[in-house]
């Protein structure tokens, strides 16, 4: 349970401990996994508003006249579609048909200035990969300059309004805004507000200078008291994203699985451009995809967990569970997993091997929650 002393610390590390969070090592960082009870934190985000310290996420800046060309080559989605103030979910493919990471690209200035948010666990690998495959852009690792706070939940915009004095609820998802907040010393601090998230709720992710992160965090918790705001740990972050069937690198996606099999074809634009790994990814699709990522619900008792094997009705192994938990919202077990194409239709019955018992489950539609 103890997190190693080598783990990096976000600017909120002491703050989490003071608030009684249970800290664990995650992706090389000491992070809060839980403050109170996972279920309560999960429900707080679904019904009110929760704050997440996501300062461990990496931020890589791509700038200069070749910024667009470089990103077009490095990513699968069409970056040319982005104007300043817009963001897109995208993938960082390798050359063999798998993924280096999944990312969000934030356009700060059309053609010449982008911020790329990457997974903490992949940051160094991503940065090296970008440098190695650079098409002439200025690529800078800004991860130690940016803290990041996610504000998520049906009351997220009420809270943001209290801080930024502006109604952001009419702003489209995947927008990027330059704004200022007044810190506790009365100084104005520049931040980037992105209307993105990883919970399925409305809200924003705020990029804030490292040294001002705690000030903004305390302000959000303080002003949000009447809205029922709570800090939320990584435990609930995982159950929230699982209920939405959002992919997590190392679980649903990795350096081997074709992203079309992961259901991420909507973020791949092979007709718009050439990109790293394009032919390998397309070849996988043309030769026929082997498997498909699906949602699972249990017909008999048991909770599907990561790496449990999945079996067809005829007894053959059809795949494996990539993520599974007891859904706090539905109060039932849910799972995400790969199954063969033949088993992937909604309603199809399969079996999960739970500690040697074959337990009946069914492919179901996702997201798991309405």
Partner 1 sequence: MGYRIPEDNYYTKEHEWAQVDENIVTVGITEFAQNQLGEIVYVELPEEGQKVTQNQPFGVVESVKAVSDLYSPVSGTVIEVNNTLVDDPAPLNDDPMNDGWLIRIEMDTEKELAQLMRAGDYKKLIAEK
In the complex, which residues of this chain contact partner 1 (CB under 8 A)?
1, 34, 37-39, 42, 235, 238-239, 301-303, 305, 325-326, 328, 331, 333, 355
Q: DSSP string of 131-148?
A: HHT-SS-EEEE-TTTEEE
| Residue closer to partner 1, measured from CB, 117 or 298 | 298
278 three-state secondary structure:
helix
| Residue closer to partner 1, measured from CB, 259 or 333 | 333
Rounded Cα distance, 84 and 176, in Å: 8
Rounded Cα distance, 239 and 354, in Å: 20
The minimum distance between CB 221 and partner 1, in angstroms, equals 22
| Residue closer to partner 1, measured from CB, 233 or 259 | 233
The minimum distance between CB 291 and partner 1, in angstroms, equals 25
| Residue closer to partner 1, measured from CB, 40 or 110 | 40
The minimum distance between CB 34 and partner 1, in angstroms, equals 7
What are residue 53's phi and psi, to 5 degrees?
A: -85, 105
| Residue closer to partner 1, measured from CB, 188 or 330 | 330
What percent helix, strand, coil does the chain show, rounded to 5? 25, 35, 40
The minimum distance between CB 239 and partner 1, in angstroms, equals 6
| Residue closer to partner 1, measured from CB, 17 or 301 | 301
The minimum distance between CB 80 and partner 1, in angstroms, equals 41
**Helix axis angle, 123-132 to 67-74, nearest 10°:** 110
- Pairing mode, if any, of strands 349-354 and 113-118? unpaired
Closest CA to 325 of 368, 261, 355: 368
The minimum distance between CB 101 and partner 1, in angstroms, equals 24
Q: Say if residues 12 and 214 touch (Cβ distance below 8 Å).
A: yes
């Amino acid at each position: 349970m103890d997190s190693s002393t080598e783990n990096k610390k976000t600017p909120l590390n002491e703050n989490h401990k003071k608030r009684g969070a249970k800290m664990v090592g995650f992706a090389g960082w000491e992070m809060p996994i839980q403050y109170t009870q996972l279920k309560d934190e999960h429900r707080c985000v679904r019904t009110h508003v929760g704050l997440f310290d996501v300062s461990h996420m990496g931020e890589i800046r791509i700038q200069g006249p070749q910024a667009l060309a470089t990103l077009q080559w490095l990513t699968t989605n069409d970056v040319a579609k982005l104007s300043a103030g817009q963001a897109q979910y995208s993938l960082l493919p390798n050359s063999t048909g798998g993924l280096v990471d999944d990312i969000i690209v934030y356009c700060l200035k059309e053609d010449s200035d982008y911020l790329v948010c990457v997974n903490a666990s992949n940051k160094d690998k991503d940065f090296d990969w970008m440098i190695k495959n650079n098409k002439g852009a200025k690529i800078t690792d800004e991860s130690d300059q940016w803290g990041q706070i996610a504000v998520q939940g049906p009351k997220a915009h009420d809270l943001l309004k209290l801080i930024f004095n502006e109604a952001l609820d009419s702003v489209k998802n995947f927008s990027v805004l330059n704004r200022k907040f007044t810190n506790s010393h009365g100084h104005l601090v520049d931040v980037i507000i992105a209307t993105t998230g990883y919970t399925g709720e409305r809200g924003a992710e705020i990029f804030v200078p490292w040294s001002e992160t705690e000030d903004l965090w305390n302000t959000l918790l303080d002003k949000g008291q009447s809205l029922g705001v709570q800090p939320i740990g990584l435990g609930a972050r995982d159950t929230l994203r699982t209920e939405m069937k959002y992919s997590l690198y190392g679980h649903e996606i990795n350096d081997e699985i074709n992203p079309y099999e992961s259901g991420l074809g909507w973020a791949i634009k092979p007709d718009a451009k050439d990109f790293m790994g394009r032919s390998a990814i397309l070849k996988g699709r043309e030769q026929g995809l082997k498997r498909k990522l699906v949602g699972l619900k249990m017909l008999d008792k048991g909770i599907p967990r990561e790496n449990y094997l999945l079996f067809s009705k005829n007894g053959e192994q059809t795949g494996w569970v990539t993520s599974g938990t007891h859904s706090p919202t539905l109060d039932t077990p849910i799972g995400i997993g790969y199954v063969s194409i033949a088993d992937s239709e909604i309603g199809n019955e399969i079996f999960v091997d739970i500690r040697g018992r074959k337990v009946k489950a069914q492919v179901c539609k996702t997201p798991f929650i309405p």
